[in-house]
Amino acid sequence: MSNERGFENVELGVIGKKKKVPRRVIHFVSGETMEEYSTDEDDIDGLGKKAVLPTVDPTKLTWGPYLWFYMLRAATSTLSVCDFLGEKIASVLGISTPKYQYAIDEYYRMKKEEEEEEEENRMSEEAERQYQEQKKLQADSVVQTDQPGTAVSTSFVNISFEMEGDCEVTMEGKQNPVTVPP
Protein backbone atom coordinates (compact mmCIF):
# COMPACT_ATOMS: atom_id res chain seq x y z
CA MET A 1 0.00 0.00 0.00
CA SER A 2 2.87 2.42 0.79
CA ASN A 3 4.50 1.54 -2.55
CA GLU A 4 1.34 2.60 -4.37
CA ARG A 5 1.68 6.17 -3.17
CA GLY A 6 5.44 6.34 -3.72
CA PHE A 7 6.51 6.38 -0.10
CA GLU A 8 9.38 4.40 1.33
CA ASN A 9 9.98 3.27 4.88
CA VAL A 10 13.06 4.96 6.26
CA GLU A 11 14.56 4.13 9.63
CA LEU A 12 15.22 7.27 11.59
CA GLY A 13 18.51 7.71 13.39
CA VAL A 14 21.88 9.32 13.08
CA ILE A 15 23.27 8.70 9.63
CA GLY A 16 26.85 7.49 9.58
CA LYS A 17 26.77 6.50 13.22
CA LYS A 18 26.73 2.78 13.71
CA LYS A 19 25.54 1.10 16.86
CA LYS A 20 28.38 0.28 19.23
CA VAL A 21 28.74 -3.34 20.12
CA PRO A 22 29.99 -4.00 23.65
CA ARG A 23 33.55 -5.28 23.79
CA ARG A 24 32.58 -7.63 26.59
CA VAL A 25 29.63 -8.27 28.88
CA ILE A 26 30.28 -9.02 32.55
CA HIS A 27 27.66 -11.06 34.41
CA PHE A 28 27.52 -10.66 38.20
CA VAL A 29 26.24 -13.17 40.75
CA SER A 30 23.43 -10.80 41.73
CA GLY A 31 22.05 -11.11 38.20
CA GLU A 32 23.23 -7.69 37.04
CA THR A 33 25.21 -7.29 33.85
CA MET A 34 27.68 -4.64 32.81
CA GLU A 35 28.56 -3.94 29.20
CA GLU A 36 32.07 -2.70 28.53
CA TYR A 37 32.49 -0.69 25.36
CA SER A 38 35.74 0.10 23.64
CA THR A 39 36.74 3.75 23.75
CA ASP A 40 38.09 5.87 20.93
CA GLU A 41 41.54 5.71 22.55
CA ASP A 42 41.45 1.92 22.44
CA ASP A 43 40.52 2.06 18.78
CA ILE A 44 43.38 4.45 18.00
CA ASP A 45 45.88 2.35 19.97
CA GLY A 46 44.73 -0.78 18.19
CA LEU A 47 45.13 0.87 14.78
CA GLY A 48 48.58 2.18 15.70
CA LYS A 49 49.85 -1.26 16.65
CA LYS A 50 48.56 -2.75 13.44
CA ALA A 51 50.24 -0.05 11.35
CA VAL A 52 53.64 -0.50 13.07
CA LEU A 53 53.78 -4.28 12.93
CA PRO A 54 52.50 -5.60 9.65
CA THR A 55 51.54 -9.24 9.72
CA VAL A 56 53.74 -11.06 7.26
CA ASP A 57 54.04 -14.79 6.93
CA PRO A 58 57.79 -15.37 6.29
CA THR A 59 57.20 -18.93 5.02
CA LYS A 60 55.44 -17.58 1.93
CA LEU A 61 58.19 -15.09 1.02
CA THR A 62 60.84 -15.59 -1.65
CA TRP A 63 64.56 -15.50 -0.75
CA GLY A 64 65.08 -11.73 -1.17
CA PRO A 65 62.13 -10.50 0.92
CA TYR A 66 62.75 -13.39 3.37
CA LEU A 67 66.31 -12.20 4.11
CA TRP A 68 65.19 -8.56 4.21
CA PHE A 69 62.42 -9.41 6.72
CA TYR A 70 64.77 -11.22 9.16
CA MET A 71 67.52 -8.62 8.73
CA LEU A 72 65.04 -5.82 9.58
CA ARG A 73 63.71 -7.78 12.56
CA ALA A 74 67.25 -8.40 13.91
CA ALA A 75 68.24 -4.75 13.41
CA THR A 76 65.17 -3.37 15.24
CA SER A 77 65.53 -5.77 18.17
CA THR A 78 69.30 -5.04 18.42
CA LEU A 79 68.61 -1.30 18.38
CA SER A 80 65.98 -1.70 21.12
CA VAL A 81 68.39 -3.69 23.31
CA CYS A 82 71.21 -1.14 22.78
CA ASP A 83 68.86 1.73 23.60
CA PHE A 84 67.73 0.03 26.82
CA LEU A 85 71.26 -0.86 27.95
CA GLY A 86 72.60 2.58 27.06
CA GLU A 87 69.92 4.27 29.12
CA LYS A 88 70.65 2.04 32.14
CA ILE A 89 74.41 2.55 31.93
CA ALA A 90 73.99 6.32 31.59
CA SER A 91 71.78 6.46 34.68
CA VAL A 92 74.26 4.34 36.69
CA LEU A 93 77.18 6.57 35.68
CA GLY A 94 75.16 9.74 36.31
CA ILE A 95 75.46 10.95 32.74
CA SER A 96 71.74 11.44 32.33
CA THR A 97 71.47 14.01 35.16
CA PRO A 98 71.85 17.69 34.29
CA LYS A 99 75.37 19.09 34.66
CA TYR A 100 74.41 21.81 37.14
CA GLN A 101 71.54 20.03 38.90
CA TYR A 102 73.16 20.67 42.29
CA ALA A 103 73.02 24.42 41.63
CA ILE A 104 69.38 24.23 40.57
CA ASP A 105 68.49 22.24 43.69
CA GLU A 106 70.38 24.72 45.90
CA TYR A 107 68.54 27.65 44.29
CA TYR A 108 65.12 26.10 44.92
CA ARG A 109 66.10 25.18 48.50
CA MET A 110 67.23 28.77 49.23
CA LYS A 111 64.10 30.19 47.61
CA LYS A 112 61.92 27.92 49.76
CA GLU A 113 63.81 28.95 52.93
CA GLU A 114 63.37 32.65 52.06
CA GLU A 115 59.64 32.17 51.52
CA GLU A 116 59.32 30.34 54.85
CA GLU A 117 61.28 33.10 56.61
CA GLU A 118 59.10 35.81 55.02
CA GLU A 119 55.98 33.92 56.09
CA GLU A 120 57.33 33.57 59.62
CA ASN A 121 58.19 37.29 59.78
CA ARG A 122 54.77 38.23 58.48
CA MET A 123 53.05 36.03 61.05
CA SER A 124 55.29 37.40 63.82
CA GLU A 125 54.51 41.01 62.86
CA GLU A 126 50.80 40.20 62.73
CA ALA A 127 50.93 38.61 66.20
CA GLU A 128 52.88 41.58 67.59
CA ARG A 129 50.38 44.01 66.10
CA GLN A 130 47.44 42.10 67.58
CA TYR A 131 49.18 42.00 70.97
CA GLN A 132 49.77 45.78 70.89
CA GLU A 133 46.11 46.40 69.95
CA GLN A 134 44.93 44.13 72.73
CA LYS A 135 47.24 45.81 75.23
CA LYS A 136 46.01 49.25 74.11
CA LEU A 137 42.36 48.17 74.50
CA GLN A 138 43.07 46.88 77.99
CA ALA A 139 44.81 50.11 78.97
CA ASP A 140 41.86 52.16 77.70
CA SER A 141 39.23 50.13 79.47
CA VAL A 142 40.88 49.69 82.88
CA VAL A 143 38.21 49.46 85.56
CA GLN A 144 39.22 51.34 88.70
CA THR A 145 38.94 48.87 91.54
CA ASP A 146 41.00 50.72 94.16
CA GLN A 147 39.30 52.83 96.83
CA PRO A 148 39.99 56.50 96.38
CA GLY A 149 42.65 57.44 98.93
CA THR A 150 42.92 61.22 99.14
CA ALA A 151 39.56 62.32 97.79
CA VAL A 152 37.59 60.75 100.65
CA SER A 153 35.34 63.05 102.59
CA THR A 154 35.81 63.28 106.34
CA SER A 155 32.39 61.84 107.12
CA PHE A 156 32.49 58.29 108.39
CA VAL A 157 29.49 56.05 108.74
CA ASN A 158 29.75 52.90 110.81
CA ILE A 159 26.80 50.59 110.53
CA SER A 160 26.46 47.67 112.86
CA PHE A 161 23.73 45.10 112.96
CA GLU A 162 22.33 43.92 116.25
CA MET A 163 20.04 41.01 116.71
CA GLU A 164 17.73 40.70 119.66
CA GLY A 165 18.88 38.07 122.08
CA ASP A 166 22.49 38.13 120.96
CA CYS A 167 25.25 38.98 123.27
CA GLU A 168 25.73 42.65 123.83
CA VAL A 169 28.13 44.50 121.62
CA THR A 170 30.72 46.49 123.42
CA MET A 171 30.76 50.13 122.51
CA GLU A 172 34.33 50.86 123.43
CA GLY A 173 35.99 50.92 119.97
CA LYS A 174 33.11 52.36 117.97
CA GLN A 175 32.25 55.89 117.10
CA ASN A 176 28.60 56.89 117.08
CA PRO A 177 26.96 53.57 116.40
CA VAL A 178 23.93 53.67 114.19
CA THR A 179 21.33 50.97 114.34
CA VAL A 180 19.37 49.81 111.37
CA PRO A 181 15.72 49.03 111.91
CA PRO A 182 14.68 45.48 111.09
**Residue 156 forms part of a structural domain:** no
Q: Do 8 and 2 meet the contact criterion of CB atoms below 8 Å apart?
A: yes
Q: What domain range includes position 116?
A: 99-136
pLDDT category of residue 2 using cuts at 50, 70 and 90:
very low
**pLDDT recorded at residue 182:** 63
**pLDDT recorded at residue 156:** 63
Q: Do 44 and 52 meet the contact criterion of CB atoms below 8 Å apart?
A: no
**Residue 131 forms part of a structural domain:** yes
**Residue 4 forms part of a structural domain:** no
| 33/107: higher pLDDT | 107
**Residue 146 forms part of a structural domain:** no
**pLDDT recorded at residue 110:** 96
**Residue 120 forms part of a structural domain:** yes
Query: How confident is the model over 127-161, as pLDDT tens digits?
Result: 999 999 998 888 877 655 555 555 545 566 667 76
| 78/174: higher pLDDT | 78
**Residue 123 forms part of a structural domain:** yes
- Number of independent structural domains in the chain: 1
**What stretch of H or E contains 160?**
strand 159-160
**Residue 68 forms part of a structural domain:** no
**pLDDT recorded at residue 115:** 96
- Distance, CA of 84 to CA of 78 (rounded, Å): 10
- Rama region for 36: left / alpha / beta (φ>0; ψ in -120 to 50; rest): beta
**Residue 119 forms part of a structural domain:** yes
